[in-house]
Amino acid sequence: MSNPRSPGELYDVLSSSETNRAILHLKELNDDLKKKKQELKEMLSPLEAEKDILFQQLMINLEEKQRSLQIMARIMAGKGDDSEDSLIHSLENIKEAELLKQSLEKRNEMLWKEMETLWSKDYQQDEFSDLLKQLLHKNKEEMQVLRELAQRKFQREEQ
């Protein structure tokens, strides 16, 4: 005939199963946090690429502005000379500067539109990021409570 279990042994079996459930729950929460972290990384990578493209476009824009300034400097340098060649050269420089100005205005407009799009995406990203931070903080609190429960049960088992 087998010996019936004492109440203390039954408590040990129950508490270890509860501890196992708590550990499984902690593992699930940890996996969820890892997935959320990966999702955030995936969401940030396209924004980084767009920022790099915008930076390149801004550099091109600056180079064109520099060329425009050089043309204006040549025009200003030729103002003192009234010869026919210098006037023709100045008119050509003015036409070139006007074309550059129009090109720059178009590019500036495009860049502003792209930057506004990025800013709105960043704003949406910030809202989503704040929400995820709240969820992560909540999950961390749950994990801490479960850890404390598990530690208490282990301490009870040791006593």
C-alpha distances in angstroms, 1 versus 4, 82?
A: 9, 125
List the chain domain ranges.
8-74+84-122
**What pLDDT, on a 0 to 100 scale, did the predictor assign at position 105?**
85
**What pLDDT, on a 0 to 100 scale, did the predictor assign at position 1?**
43
* pLDDT single digits (tens) 61-80: 888 888 888 877 777 776 65
Closest CA to 112 of 146, 61, 46: 61
**What pLDDT, on a 0 to 100 scale, did the predictor assign at position 133?**
73
**What pLDDT, on a 0 to 100 scale, did the predictor assign at position 12?**
55
Closest CA to 49 of 118, 124, 126, 108: 118
**What pLDDT, on a 0 to 100 scale, did the predictor assign at position 155?**
74
Number of other residues whose CB lies within 10 A of the CB of residue 22: 19
The parts of the chain modelled with pLDDT lower than 70 are 1-15, 78-87, 122-124, 128, 131, 135, 139, 154, 157-159
DSSP character for 112? H
pTM for the full predicted model: 0.36
Task: Spell out the residues 6+ positions from residue 40 whose beta carbon is closer than 8 angstroms to its own.
Answer: 129, 132
Q: Cβ distance 76 to 23 under 8 Å? A: no
Unique residue bearing structure tokens 């699930």:
28
